[in-house]
Amino acid sequence: MTRPVILLRPEPGNGASLTMARHLGLEAHGFALFHVEPVAWQAPAPDAIDALLIGSANVPRHAGPQLAAYAGKPTYAVGRTTAEACRQAGLDVVGIGHGGLQPLLARLAPTHRHLLRLAGAERVELSPPAGVTLTEAVTYASQPCPIPPDLADLLTTRQPLVLLHSAEAARHFAAECNRLGLMRGAIHLAALGPRIAQAAGSGWASLDTAITTTDQALLALARQLCQDPASEQKHTG
């Protein structure tokens, strides 16, 4: 039996991941369990900010016209997709991360001592280096949606591999499985990173983690697991 792959990201990320998954030959299904909404925010004075720190492409998509006040401002982006969205919004990307925002803080230019972090309501706590101040503003929030009947049917009958791109998604998916009485032991998970895997909890048929925190690495893992189910490593606690 072919194992389907389930994608749960908000749009437009879910559609992009779905296209890549199908290019890899996977039987992929997309169910966006979140929709993203803008949040009203107060923009600090640009002159008081040396650089921006941005951990999601949802920031430039949903920050609204206030973001224009920072046009040309040096910006550190969590990854390539976020960096491209920032450039399209008129920001000057000077650093791109590969393992989250915290490592980027160790690579700041000496003149970037006052940072503005634009983020979602659900975000990882950061520890700035000595002498660096970090102001935060929430520009968007992800609103959870219930598991629809078509997804519940796949989870019940096909023993799918569910891809988790965030700790928020992991917690919500686990809670929805509990609400619907779905058997965790019939569902395989693959997470973008260890923190996300931990948020999913235990009891799953298998729980694997991508080698790097990129969508490409997670989809490569999915392809490996679907082609060779015996390679799954159980981490059910």
88 φ, ψ to 5°? -65, -25
pTM of the model: 0.80
Give me the pLDDT at residue 131, please: 94
* Cα–Cα distance, 194 to 210 (Å, whole number): 9
Give me the pLDDT at residue 237, please: 35
Segment 16-66, tens digit of pLDDT = 899 999 999 999 999 999 999 999 999 999 999 999 999 999 999 999 999
Q: For residue 73, how many other CB atoms are within 10 A of its CB?
A: 18
CATH match of 5-33+145-228 with 3.40.50.10090: yes
Give me the pLDDT at residue 160, please: 96
Domain chopping of the chain, boundaries = 5-33+145-228, 36-142
Average pLDDT, the chain: 92
How confident is residue 13, by pLDDT bands cut at 50, 70 and 90? confident
Give the single-character DSSP code of 106: T
Residue with tokens 């929709």: 35
With contact defined as beta carbons under 8 Å apart, do 64 and 48 qualify? no
* Cα–Cα distance, 22 to 25 (Å, whole number): 5
**Average pLDDT rounded to a whole number, residues 185-200:** 95
* Cα–Cα distance, 219 to 28 (Å, whole number): 10
Q: What Cα–Cα distance (Å) separates residue 77 from each residue in 83, 163, 216?
A: 5, 23, 17
* Cα–Cα distance, 201 to 186 (Å, whole number): 15
Give me the pLDDT at residue 176, please: 98
How confident is residue 11, by pLDDT bands cut at 50, 70 and 90? confident
Give me the pLDDT at residue 236, please: 41
**What fold is seen in the domain 36-142?**
Rossmann fold (3.40.50)
Give me the pLDDT at residue 232, please: 47
Give me the pLDDT at residue 235, please: 43
With contact defined as beta carbons under 8 Å apart, do 93 and 77 qualify? yes
Decide the pairing of beta strands 133-144 and 34-38: antiparallel
Q: Is the backbone peptide bond immediately before 12 cis, with ω within 30 degrees of 0?
A: yes
With contact defined as beta carbons under 8 Å apart, do 87 and 65 qualify? no
How confident is residue 122, by pLDDT bands cut at 50, 70 and 90? confident
* Cα–Cα distance, 133 to 37 (Å, whole number): 28
What percent of the chain is modeled with pLDDT above 90? 81
* Cα–Cα distance, 180 to 233 (Å, whole number): 26
